[in-house]
Amino acid sequence: MVFMPKQLYCGPSSPSICHRRRTDGGDSVGAWFEKEQVFYAHKARVGIRWACDLLKLGEGQKILTPAYNCGSEISPLLNCGASVTLYRVDKEGQLDLEDLHKRYCSQTKAVYVTHYFGFPQPTASIRQFCDERQIPLIEDCALSLFSCDGEAKLGSSGDISIFNFPKTLPVPDGGMVLINNPDLHVDSWKMRGPPIVRVSRNVPPLIKRYVLRMSAGSNLLYPILLYILEHKQSASSSNGAARTALPDMPSNYYYDERLNDRKVSRLTERLLGTFDVATIISRRRTNFIHYLNFLSDLQDVEPLYEELPDGVCPLYFPVIVGNRGKVCQKLNDVSISAVAWWAGYHRGLPWDEYPDACFLKDNLLVLPVHQQLSELHIEFISRKLIDCVRECSA
Ligand SMILES: Cc1ncc(COP(=O)(O)O)c(C=O)c1O
């Protein structure tokens, strides 16, 4: 066993002071999407709303959409006037193709598919489903930046594919629309910069993370900074409690039409040119494998994915745990950026019909795997998780 420090900063990733436009031939985000027709938006949901316009989706039409969803992708779909028909996603996060077939009807005019945490859905089968019915596929890669299904980049099958940057990279905003269908013509994307306040309010948390990460080696400074910067009131942990009513999703997940014509900020655009994509993929994969080694074969912690297929760039390490809300809070209290994933429910969807999606919404906890963490961090997080799970079930 290696020496395990009492404290380690395991918060989300932060920018580095030495971010420079890459001139060394290294990868950057632009290079990953080099040959494609891409448009950068202020948020992924703005891109989803654009996609609806481009595909002429609206009143009287239905979009087949996964039952396991965040809600912030549902809102722009509804905003265009169409309705959504949910299809089943099982407790392993895999979509149910049979259910997808059953839910199709003559009003269905698009299929929406989401790859969770970088792990591919059976895109070839869904593509075939869409082609046979001559309806478009929208591929949601908000959780799957830089991920591949074997050799094929996720996002290359959809007529239109959607990406989100801040989930994977330390940037203040940004989503992306990738158009693969050559018949879709973009005449004019009337785009303005994002409202300054919406970007600037996301900058202090990035700086805070940078300061904490840099001070983490100091036994004296780090606890003081941690106290000052992270000390916050305990969040209410409704997530793990027996629920009587479904908790709503955060109000800012509902679509705000004022963002319709907003593109990505200049700051994000600049930062996107500075990342070394190959290193990000490799570190995330390595960290995921460390978790598999530390957390497999435990009784009370069940990894959602037991292995890491070639090409997958994982967003997090997702696990099913009991008392999820309390466990998450305890981990957050020691600055581990675990998240009770998608705990809130979009109002107005028939959740009772989808118990498996509700199971994931109520029990899935995600652990960070990002590029600034090392094996030591992963071991530290794993140990804390095991302690918290035991304390919460005692
Ligand atoms: C699967 C999925 N799609 C789309 C979105 C929307 O992303 P954004 O917040 O950039 O609009 C999210 C946000 O959490 C998401 O989880």
The answer to whether residues 93 and 143 touch, using CB atoms and an 8 Å cutoff, is no
CA 6 to centroid of ligand 1, rounded, Å = 35
- Probe target for ligand 1 pocket from 43, 70, 74, 167, with the most ligand atoms within 8 Å of CB: 70
HSE-up (13 A, CA, CB side) for residue 298: 22
Could you give all domains of the chain from N- to C-terminal order, each with its CATH number?
29-183+190-196 (3.40.640.10), 210-258+276-393 (3.90.1150.10)
Our answer on whether the CB atom of 72 is closer than 6 Å to any ligand 1 atom is: yes
Exposure class string for 182-199: b at 16+ Cβ within 10 A, else e: eeeeeeeeebeebeeebb
Closest atom of ligand 1 to 73 CA is 4
What is the pLDDT, as a whole number, of residue 223?
86
The length of the chain, given as a count of residues: 394
Our answer on whether the CB atom of 295 is closer than 6 Å to any ligand 1 atom is: no
Closest atom of ligand 1 to 43 CA is 10
Task: State the DSSP H helix or E strand holding residue 357, giving kind and residue range, or none if neither.
Answer: helix 355-363
- φ/ψ (deg, to 5) at 316: -150, 180
Our answer on whether the CB atom of 44 is closer than 6 Å to any ligand 1 atom is: yes
What is the pLDDT, as a whole number, of residue 236?
44
| Segments in the chain below pLDDT 70 | 1-6, 17-27, 35, 188-190, 232-244
* Residues 172, 267: Cα–Cα separation, whole Å: 8
What is the pLDDT, as a whole number, of residue 379?
96
- Probe target for ligand 1 pocket from 50, 115, 139, 164, with the most ligand atoms within 8 Å of CB: 164
**Count of C-beta atoms within a 10 Å radius of residue 361:** 26
Our answer on whether the CB atom of 346 is closer than 6 Å to any ligand 1 atom is: no
3-state secondary structure of 148: strand
Cα separation values, 386 from 5, 297, 319, Å: 17, 12, 12
- Probe target for ligand 1 pocket from 40, 43, 45, with the most ligand atoms within 8 Å of CB: 45
Task: Could you list the beta-strand ranges (E) of 92-190.
Answer: 108-114, 137-141, 148-149, 152-153, 160-164, 175-179
Our answer on whether the CB atom of 249 is closer than 6 Å to any ligand 1 atom is: no
Nearest CA-CA partner of 151 in 259, 19, 309, 302: 309
Cα separation values, 168 from 9, 13, 163, 239, 327, Å: 18, 8, 10, 24, 23
Task: Please tell me the residue having the least CA distance from ligand 1 atom 4.
Answer: 73
Helix ranges, 80-231 (H): 97-103, 123-133, 196-200, 203-215, 221-230
Locus of tokens 């949901």: 45
Q: Which residues pair with 89 in a beta bridge?
A: 95
* Residues 223, 229: Cα–Cα separation, whole Å: 10
Our answer on whether the CB atom of 140 is closer than 6 Å to any ligand 1 atom is: yes
Task: Please tell me the residue having the least CA distance from ligand 1 atom 7.
Answer: 44
Read off the amino acid at residue 261.
D
What is the pLDDT, as a whole number, of residue 217?
80
Nearest CA-CA partner of 78 in 291, 302, 348: 348
Exposure class string for 23-42: b at 16+ Cβ within 10 A, else e: eeeebbbeebbeeeebbbbb
What is the pLDDT, as a whole number, of residue 191?
83
Q: Is the dihedral of CA 289, 295, 301, 307 positive or negative?
A: positive
Our answer on whether the CB atom of 164 is closer than 6 Å to any ligand 1 atom is: yes
* Residues 115, 95: Cα–Cα separation, whole Å: 9
What is the pLDDT, as a whole number, of residue 31?
85
* Residues 120, 144: Cα–Cα separation, whole Å: 8
Task: Please tell me the residue having the least CA distance from ligand 1 atom 2.
Answer: 142
CA 345 to centroid of ligand 1, rounded, Å = 14
What token pair was written down for 353? Answer: 């019909």
**Count of C-beta atoms within a 10 Å radius of residue 214:** 16
3-state secondary structure of 348: coil
The answer to whether residues 21 and 274 touch, using CB atoms and an 8 Å cutoff, is yes
